[in-house]
A and B are shown apart, each in its own frame.
Chain A
Amino acid sequence: DAKTTQPPSMDCAEGRAANLPCNHSTISGNEYVYWYRQIHSQGPQYIIHGLKNNETNEMASLIITEDRKSSTLILPHATLRDTAVYYCIVRGYLWGQNFVFGPGTRLSVLP
């Protein structure tokens, strides 16, 4: 599995866009990028995923660079409820590969 690198923490003002970066320079062609978040001590929650193209859903946008070596999760209008640890995960679909959760980025949305 490709490994990911994320900053340990970030701050964002409420109402502003939160841009969370992730480096995955060893990603291979069949590996997807997934983003999850964990609010306080709850179970992780799926946010979004992508392979090559940028993706958007009701929660966030995912921007993947053309070489696929990095990506950015964008929360367009961060709220206090978005304060959480955000995990960037790269996973292929071959047998035996599982999600690897690193320490993630702790996002603090400030009033």
Chain B
Amino acid sequence: NAGVTQTPKFRVLKTGQSMTLLCAQDMNHEYMYWYRQDPGMGLRLIHYSVGEGTTAKGEVPDGYNVSRLKKQNFLLGLESAAPSQTSVYFCASRPTGTGGLGETQYFGPGTRLLVL
């Protein structure tokens, strides 16, 4: 199993450009998450999905959109990138189970985004 993979690993954008970050998991997990991490800070939840075709807002959703057309993929879109969106983006997934190990999230390696 590859686990959770993210594409691309690094990207530079100009202000106003758009892009899509792809997260893929091969563990048949129902739940998927997108986080951002700014320097010296913890992770903040952007959006999440509890199953194919469903998405929900997290703590910092503004400026981002997401889609979960296939169970294994979770896409994060930036329609008009801003310098404030310069960050490291992490994707995570977990199975459906409640409590304990069922709640454990598995993270991808991250995508480093620089918006000029």
| Chain A residues within 8 Å of B, Cβ to Cβ | 30, 32, 34, 41-46, 49, 51, 87, 91, 93, 98-104
Contact = CB atoms under 8 A, between A and B. Distances in A.
Contacts, number: 58
A104 B4 CA distance: 23
Interface residues of B, number: 29
B95 interface: no
A101 B35 contact: yes
Contacts of A51: 99-100
A103 B42 contact: yes
A91 B103 CA distance: 9
Interface stretch (B13-21, B60-68, B73-81, B106-114): B106-114
A59 to B, nearest CB: 13
B109 A43 contact: yes
